[in-house]
Structure 1
Amino acid sequence: MSENKTLREKDTEISLETAEKWTKKWKDPKNGIEAKNKVRAFLIPKINLEMVLAQGIDAARAYIGINDEGVQTLMLVGTRLNKDTLIYEDMLPKPGDSNPGNSKDGNETAIPPAIYDFSQPCPPQGDPSSPLN
Structure 2
Amino acid sequence: MKENYRLREKDTEIPLATAEKWTKKWSDPKTEIDLKNKVRAFLIPKINLELVLKQEIDAVRAYMGINDDGEQTLLIVGTRYDEKTGIYVDMLPESNHKEGDTENHVNVIAPAIYDFSQPCPPGGDPSSPL
TM score, norm. by length of structure 1: 0.84
Secondary structure (helix, strand or coil) at the match of 1:111 reads coil
Q: What residue in structure 1 maps to residue 101 of structure 2?
A: 102
Paired residue type of 2:55: Q
Secondary structure (helix, strand or coil) at the match of 1:17 reads helix
Instruction: State the alpha-carbon separation in 1 of the partners of residues 84 and 78 from structure 2.
Output: 18
Deviations 1:54-79 (A, max 9, x none): 00110001100001111111011000
Q: What residue in structure 1 maps to residue 120 of structure 2?
A: 122
CA RMSD of aligned residues (A): 2.3
- State whether residues 43 and 118 of structure 2, in contact with CA within 8 Å, keep that contact through their aligned partners in structure 1: yes
Instruction: State the alpha-carbon separation in 1 of the partners of residues 25 and 47 from structure 2.
Output: 25
- State whether residues 74 and 117 of structure 1, in contact with CA within 8 Å, keep that contact through their aligned partners in structure 2: yes
**1:2-81, aligned counterparts within 5 Å?**
2-81=2-81
Structure 1: unaligned runs, 5 residues or longer = none
Against the structure 1 CA distance between its residues 60 and 98, is the aligned structure 2 distance closer, same or farther, given a 3 Å change threshold? closer
Shift of 1:34: 3.9
Q: What residue in structure 1 maps to residue 110 of structure 2?
A: 112
- State whether residues 76 and 116 of structure 2, in contact with CA within 8 Å, keep that contact through their aligned partners in structure 1: no
Query: Percent sequence identity over matched residues?
Result: 71
Structure 2: unaligned runs, 5 residues or longer = none
Instruction: State the alpha-carbon separation in 2 of the partners of residues 89 and 35 from structure 1.
Output: 32
Secondary structure (helix, strand or coil) at the match of 1:78 reads strand
Against the structure 1 CA distance between its residues 36 and 86, is the aligned structure 2 distance closer, same or farther, given a 3 Å change threshold? farther
TM score, norm. by length of structure 2: 0.86
Instruction: State the alpha-carbon separation in 2 of the partners of residues 98 and 59 from structure 1.
Output: 18
Aligned length: 126
- State whether residues 80 and 88 of structure 1, in contact with CA within 8 Å, keep that contact through their aligned partners in structure 2: yes
Paired residue type of 1:29: P
- State whether residues 58 and 81 of structure 1, in contact with CA within 8 Å, keep that contact through their aligned partners in structure 2: yes
Paired residue type of 2:58: D
